[in-house]
Structure 1
Amino acid sequence: MIPWVELDEAEIPGEAGTLRLKQRGGEFSIMLGANELMNSRLSGSEEALAELAAERIAGRDRPSVLIGGLGMGFTLRAALAVLPRDARIVVAELVPAVIAWARGPMAEVFEGSLDDPRVEIHEGDVTALIAASQNGFDAILLDVDNGPDGLTRGDNDRLYSLSGLAASKRALRKGGVLAIWSAHPDDRFTARLKKSGFETEAKTVRAHRKKRGLKHVVWLGISRRAKNVFADTASRSSG
C-alpha cells in the first residue's frame, strides 16, 4: 500500500491546534491530530450542501452566496456548477495555508475553481464577515469545523449559538437560506435553529458521491419572518 506523506502543516489562528495536509498517491487528507477533517475521496455531503441550498434560491437574479470554509473546494465547485453565471460567491477561509494548498499541491482537486470570475476569496473569520453584513446574501453555506459540535475552534460555537444564528439571519435577504454541514445529527441544534426563526429541515446525506458509506447532516434554515429571540425571551420573563 502506498504510504501517506505529510506535505505541510498550519496553525489555526487563535487556537493551539495544527492542521496537517497529507497525500497518498492522488488522495489528499487534512488532519487535526488523529481526526481526519476531510478527504479528497469523500465529497458527496459537501456537494449536497451547495446543491440543496441552490435549490432553495433557484430563479433569483444575481444571487449572492457566502461559503464559510474552503476545505478541499467541494462545496465551491458544486455551487459553481448549479448557480447562474451572474452569481457572486464569497468564500471565507480562516487559515491562509488552506488557500495556499488549494493553489499548490491540491490544484488538481480544485480544477481551477478559484479562478472563476464569480468567486471572491476572503481570508478571515466567516463569523466576522457575517456580523458585518445585513441583507447581503441569498444563501450562507457553513462547512466550518465538524458542525455545531466542533473539533477545531472554540470560537466556532459563536456561529451556532442563538446570537450567531441571529447574525446569520440578519445577513440573509428575505427568503434566504442558511445551510449548515455537520458530521453528526444534533436534535438540540435543530431546535435552536427553529427557535431562531428559521423554517428548518435536517437532511441526511451520504459522504460518498456514489451515495454510500458514512452519513452526514445538512440543515436548511429558510429566513421568512422576523423574530427577535432575545426580545421574546425578555417579554416572557417580564410577563
Structure 2
Amino acid sequence: MSLRFEELDWQETPIGEISLRRRRHPASGEDVYEVKLGDEFLMSSLFTAGEIALAELGLAKLPNTGLDVAVGGLGLGYTAQAALDDPRVRRLTVIDALAEVIDWHQRGLVPLGTRLASDSRCRLVHGDFFAMAAETGGLDPEEPDLRFHAVLLDVDHSPRHVLRPRHASLYQPAGLRALARHLRPGGVFALWSNDPPDEQFISALTEVFAESAAHVVEFANPLQGGTSANTVYVAGAGAGAS
C-alpha cells in the first residue's frame, strides 16, 4: 500500500514549478495522481472521463483502419491511451512541451506510463505543439510531411483560459487554418475544454471547418458531490482540406 501522500517529482520548468503527487483516496483507498503547476491543479487521475472522451469522440467517424493520430498534451496519458485502445490506430505521436512530463511516463511514475512508453505505435515527442501547429514543418519531427487523420488537443483549460498567452492565437480562425494544414482530407480536430460550450469558439471552428460540434461530457464528482462536465469540440476538415 502506498503512503497516504507522496510528492513523486518536482521540477522547475519554463512555465513554472510543476509537481507530480500521489495520494490515497480516503473512501476507495485507491491511489490518485495529481499534477500541479505552482499552486494550480492541472489534472487528476480522479477525473479522466473528458480526456478519454476526447479520443473516443475525435476518432468516432474516421475510416476503419490505419489511422495516424497526433495528441497535443501528454499529461497523465489518458487521451493517448484511449487512442491506442482503438485498434484502428496504427501510429500515435504525442507532443508535450515539458520534458519532465515525458520523463514521468518513461520512468513509470504514472499509472499509464509504462504502457505508453512501451507501445511500438506510440512516440513521445518533446516539442511545442502550438509552435509546430502554426508552422509548415509538421507535427512529427521525423516525418515533417506527415498529415494526420486526427489531431487531439488537451493543453489549456479552455480556449479562453490558456496556460500561456501565445496559445490564444491557435483558437482564432487563422490559427485553426494553420492547424488544419496538418490534417488529411476528411481529417478531424478535437479539443478538450474545462469550460461550457463557447459560442465564440464554435463560430471560429465553423469559419474554418466543414462541420463542428460541442459535446458536453458529464461525470461524477465525488469531491464536490453531484456531477461536473467538460466540453469536447470535434471539427471535421472536410474532403477538400489541404
Q: TM-score, normalised by structure 1?
A: 0.83
The equivalent position to 2:121 in structure 1, one of 97, 118, 121, is 118
* Matching of residues 25-174 of structure 1 within 5 Å: 25=24, 26-59=31-64, 61-84=65-88, 87-104=90-107, 106-130=109-133, 131=135, 132-133=137-138, 136-174=147-185
In the alignment, structure 1 residue 206 sits paired with structure 2 residue 218? yes
Structure 2 SS opposite 1:177: strand
Are the counterparts in 1 of residues 33 and 44 from structure 2 also a CA contact under 8 Å?
yes
Structure 1 SS opposite 2:204: helix
Query: Offset of 1:116 from its aligned partner?
Result: 0.7
Structure 2 counterpart of 1:192? 204
**Alpha-carbon distance in 2 for matches of 1:154, 1:6:** 29
**Alpha-carbon distance in 1 for matches of 2:219, 2:155:** 16
Query: Offset of 1:94 from its aligned partner?
Result: 0.5
Structure 1 counterpart of 2:20? 21
Are the counterparts in 2 of residues 135 and 170 from structure 1 also a CA contact under 8 Å?
no
In the alignment, structure 1 residue 222 sits paired with structure 2 residue 226? no
Are the counterparts in 2 of residues 138 and 177 from structure 1 also a CA contact under 8 Å?
yes
1:23-71: CA deviation from partner (whole Å, max 9, x where unpaired)? 1132111112332111011111100000111112131x42111000000
User: Does 1 or 2 have the higher relative contact order (CA < 8 Å, sep 6+)?
Assistant: 1
Counterpart residue identity of residue 35, structure 2: I
1:177-225: CA deviation from partner (whole Å, max 9, x where unpaired)? 0000000022111111111234110000135599x73100000000016
Q: TM-score, normalised by structure 2?
A: 0.82
Deviates more, 1:144-153 or 1:193-202: 144-153
In the alignment, structure 1 residue 182 sits paired with structure 2 residue 181? no
RMSD: 2.5
**Alpha-carbon distance in 1 for matches of 2:107, 2:200:** 39
Query: Offset of 1:149 from its aligned partner?
Result: 2.2
1:111-158: CA deviation from partner (whole Å, max 9, x where unpaired)? 512211110111011123333236701100000121212342122213
**Alpha-carbon distance in 1 for matches of 2:116, 2:22:** 21
TM superposition outliers: structure 1 runs of 4+ over 3 Å: 2-5, 207-210, 225-228
Q: Which has the higher helix share?
A: 1
**Alpha-carbon distance in 2 for matches of 1:82, 1:219:** 19
Deviates more, 1:63-72 or 1:23-32: 23-32
Unmatched 5+ residue regions in structure 1?
229-239
Unmatched 5+ residue regions in structure 2?
25-30, 139-144
Residue correspondences, number: 222
Q: Cα gap change, 1:149/1:3 in structure 2, threshold over 3 Å: closer, same or farther? A: farther
Are the counterparts in 2 of residues 67 and 89 from structure 1 also a CA contact under 8 Å?
yes
**Alpha-carbon distance in 2 for matches of 1:43, 1:182:** 13
